[in-house]
Amino acid sequence: MRRLALSLSLLATFAATPALADNIPETARIVATDKLPEGLTFTEVTGLDVGQVEQVVTWLDGDGEHVAVFANTSKTGVKDDTRYDSKVLYVTVFLKKNGKFQKVQNIKEAVQPCELDLTARFLPGSVTVTNADEDAQGELTFGYVTRCAGDVSPSLMKVLMLEGKQKYALRGESRVNLGTETVGGTFKADFKKAPAALLEHAKKIWKATQDTM
C-alpha cells in the first residue's frame, strides 16, 4: 500500500496548541488563527449567521486540499422564570476544488436547553491529522465532551475519526476522580470494517483526554 506523506497546515486557537503536533509528520506547521479561509462563510459551516470559529485545520491528501472548521453557537433564554443555556458544537469538513468549497462531512452536537451547568467543548490536544492506514486519505481525529448536570459526574464523551466520507467513533464517558473512587472512562467503539491502525489511534486519543471534565 502506497505510503502517503501528508502535507499539513494546522491552524489552532485552543490553549493547548502544542499538543496538536502530536503524531503529525514533521512537515506540520501550526499557526494560531480564528479566521475562516477566504471564500468560506460561517453560514456554510453552521447554517447560522452568528457564532464562534474555534479552530481551522487544513491538510492535503490524495483527494486534494481539505479544510475542517471547528465552531460553536450558543444562546441563553428564560422560560417560566427559569434561565436556560444552549450550545451547539460543529465540525464541518470541506474539500477545496477549483477555488470552491465542497462540503464532505458535517458533525453537529447540541446541548439544549440546559437549566443546570452546561458543558459542550472540544478537548484540547485531541485534534490530529494522520495517515495511520497508509492509504491516499488523511484521517481527522478529534474529541469533545457534553454535559448538563448540577453535580460532579462524568460527561458524555466522543472521539470521532473522519476519513473522506467515512465516520468512526468511540462513545462513552469521561473519567472523574471522586476521591474515594474513579468513575467513567469507558467507551464503545464503532469502527466496523476500519483498519486496526485507525482504532488504535482513536484509543490513544481517548486515553490521553479522558480525564478532562
Q: 76 in helix, strand or coil?
A: strand
33 confidence band (pLDDT: 50, 70, 90): low
Q: Please give the Cα distance from 108 to 90 (Å, whole number).
A: 5
Q: Pick the more confident residue, 149 or 29.
A: 149
Is residue 22 scored above 90 in pLDDT?
Answer: no
Mean pLDDT, residues 90-118 taken together: 95
Mean pLDDT, residues 15-23 taken together: 32
pLDDT of residue 80: 87
pLDDT of residue 68: 92
pLDDT of residue 79: 85
Under 8 Å between Cβ of 42 and 48: yes
pTM of the full predicted structure?
Answer: 0.85
Question: Given the C-alpha cell 468560506, which residue does it identify?
Answer: 40
Please state the domain extents for the chain: 7-209
135 confidence band (pLDDT: 50, 70, 90): confident
Q: Please give the Cα distance from 90 to 95 (Å, whole number).
A: 17
User: For all residues of the chain together, what is the average pLDDT?
Assistant: 85
213 confidence band (pLDDT: 50, 70, 90): low
Centre a 10 Å sphere on the Cβ of residue 169 and count the other Cβ atoms it contains.
Answer: 17
